[in-house]
A and B are shown apart, each in its own frame.
Chain A
Amino acid sequence: DVKVTQSSRYLVKRTGEKVFLECVQDMDHENMFWYRQDPGLGLRLIYFSYDVKMKEKGDIPEGYSVSREKKERFSLILESASTNQTSMYLCASTHRGTSDQETQYFGPGTRLLVL
């Protein structure tokens, strides 16, 4: 059974703190993604990765960085958390194949509150 896990379901941090969100998939997928989801704005892509040590900016990368040292793990880093980064963060992975094979498998999400 396909599985994507995220390190925390709920997280409360203070402004200025460094925040690490971890995502692990057990499907040997090449592609991994980080999104944030906010009411009325839908899912927005922050960063994605096609392979180990490889990363590409999505639509809203400002204030975030990522790390992919191992194929199964993709980390999202908030260098200095701000209140406007309060959101639901979703990780996803896909197998690299034809376009209709690349369906997204999501983790359960991390609800981050920055005070």
Chain B
Amino acid sequence: RKEVEQDPGPFNVPEGATVAFNCTYSNSASQSFFWYRQDCRKEPKLLMSVYSSGNEDGRFTAQLNRASQYISLLIRDSKLSDSATYLCVVNGKGGSYIPTFGRGTSLIVHP
């Protein structure tokens, strides 16, 4: 069983739509959670951290459900520039915090 699982998509949505991605993780001892964004042929960059209480950054909302071991990302009012791959990342405890990446969910926003 993969440690971090995501639906690869692609999610194909029109501009202005609301879209949500989920990510499940298997290690209940996981410490912290993140969403990264990766544009085509570029490196991943941090989009937002995911806190237990949920957090919002403009059109983006992230939620954590520890009981069911999943995190979610909601994007409202999608823009063409939101087209990218969204990576779910979970930090576990090692000597430091070793991240485990999901394989990513592809989002395509069309006019």
Contact = CB atoms under 8 A, between A and B. Distances in A.
Q: Check if A and B associate.
A: yes
Interface of A: 30-31, 33, 35, 40-43, 45, 48, 50, 56, 90, 94, 96, 98-100, 102-104, 106-109
10 contacts: A31-B96, A40-B8, A42-B103, A56-B94, A96-B96, A99-B97, A100-B91, A102-B91, A108-B43, A109-B43
A24 to B, nearest CB: 15
A99 B32 contact: yes
A42 B96 contact: no
Contacts of A106: 43-45
Interface of B: 8, 31-32, 34, 36, 42-46, 49, 51, 87, 89, 91, 93-99, 101-104
Contact of B43 (A40, A45, A90): A90
